[in-house]
């Protein structure tokens, strides 16, 4: 059976809806909980794709998260071999590893449902072709990619974060969270949201109100990614 390697970087940033979308296609998730001490594999041998999940650290905070050097090495080994999807920290790892720049607590934070602009380059992207000019996604970050690698293609932007989605070859990075559903948003710390300038009730209400639209958009986009898995 086909399997996809998934690296968890944080207890609170699990695969979420990805597991359902994998199951629908008969694909087995091989989840490595790096934050809990699982060793990060040196290669993607035996797996048809790699997904890197989010986390509250920067992509080079090796002292805080000592598995990150191995994760960057895995990303380099997987790039150009299998399709790669980096989510939030995973996208920042993609940018950082291939020559871009990521800065912590840069600009204004994004939390909850956010409008994204789909850029002209997305017209010919295998994951995004046919999307409308704006889509909604769930965000949860303060850090962001501030400079793209030279060979990266920028696919989406938002008002607060210009570099929302990039592609390098068959590796994609998204600053947002396609895997997060309203139930996880309900569990976000309300005091933390208030400290960042957000109304917790409004954040949850938006996630609930737009749940069907979010699922329709990102199940299709991630489904296209999974269709590349051979």
Catalytic residue numbers read 88, 177, 179
What is the four-CA torsion angle of 155, 220, 188, 90, rounded to 10 degrees? -50
Beta pairing class for 84-87 and 49-52 = parallel
- CA separation for the pair 144, 25 (Å, rounded): 32
Place of tokens 């950082």: 96
- CA separation for the pair 98, 195 (Å, rounded): 33
* Closest listed residue to residue 89, CA positions, set 149, 39, 144, 154: 144
Give the 3-state secondary structure of residue 33: strand
Write out the E strands in 9-83: 28-33, 49-52
Give the 3-state secondary structure of residue 73: helix
Rg (alpha carbons) of the chain, rounded to whole number = 16
Place of tokens 């994204």: 116
User: 93: which DSSP letter?
Assistant: H
Tokens found for residue 140: 């949860």
């Amino acid at each position: 059976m086909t399997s996809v390697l998934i690296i968890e970087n944080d207890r609170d940033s699990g695969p979420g809806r990805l597991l359902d979308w994998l199951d629908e296609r008969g694909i087995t998730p091989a989840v490595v909980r790096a934050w809990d001490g699982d060793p990060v594999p040196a290669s993607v041998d035996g797996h048809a794709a790699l997904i890197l999940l989010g986390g509250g650290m920067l992509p080079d905070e090796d002292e805080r998260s000592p598995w990150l050097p191995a994760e960057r090495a895995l990303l380099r080994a997987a790039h150009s071999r299998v399709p790669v999807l980096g989510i939030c920290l995973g996208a920042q790892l993609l940018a950082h590893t291939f020559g871009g720049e990521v800065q912590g607590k840069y600009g204004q934070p994004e939390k909850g449902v956010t409008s994204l602009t789909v850029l002209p380059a997305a017209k010919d992207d295998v994951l995004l072709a046919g999307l409308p000019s704006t889509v909604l996604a769930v965000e949860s970050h303060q850090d962001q990619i501030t400079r793209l690698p030279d060979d990266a293609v920028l696919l989406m932007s938002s008002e607060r974060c210009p570099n929302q989605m990039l592609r390098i070859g068959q590796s994609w990075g998204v600053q947002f969270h396609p895997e997060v559903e309203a139930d996880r948003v309900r569990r976000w710390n309300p005091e933390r949201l208030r400290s960042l300038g957000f109304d917790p009730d409004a954040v949850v209400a938006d996630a609930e109100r737009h749940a069907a639209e979010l699922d329709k958009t990102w199940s299709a986009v991630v489904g296209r990614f999974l269709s590349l898995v051979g």
